[in-house]
Homo-oligomer: A and B are copies of this chain.
Amino acid sequence: MLKPLFDRVVLRVKEEEEKSIGGIVLAAAAQEKPQIAEVIAVGPGKTTNHGTLVAPTVKVGDTVVFEKFAGSQIKVDGENYLIAHESDLLAILD
């Protein structure tokens, strides 16, 4: 299991066909459009310069919109995941 560090989150990116569910349409051709993903795991948050821990906002199971080229890709047990900073997430879709 992937346990993200600091303010990072682990995302499972929703593939094209999935993106028509719930009315969210990201034109396939539109490279720079933001992406949709499910939050799989959330880090403990980041400690600021003042030693204050800023807890994460999103939680496991949220569907989120995120910046297209954010994060690093990794494959675990045959599944593709993305590890990104929470600040790369634009909005929650509910």
Contacts and interface: CB of A to CB of B under 8 A. Distances in A.
Range for the number of chain A residues in contact with chain B: 35 or more
A60 interface: no
Q: How many copies does the complex hold?
A: 7
Given A6-B87, A25-B75, A87-B6, A1 B93 contact: yes
Nearest to A62: B3
Contacts of A27: 75
A3 B67 CA distance: 15
Interface of A: 1-6, 8, 10, 23-27, 30, 32-34, 41, 43-44, 47-52, 54, 57-58, 64-65, 67-68, 72-78, 83, 86-87, 89-94
Given A1-B94, A25-B75, 14 more contacts: A2-B65, A2-B93, A3-B93, A4-B91, A5-B86, A5-B89, A8-B90, A10-B91, A34-B83, A41-B91, A43-B91, A48-B49, A50-B51, A76-B93
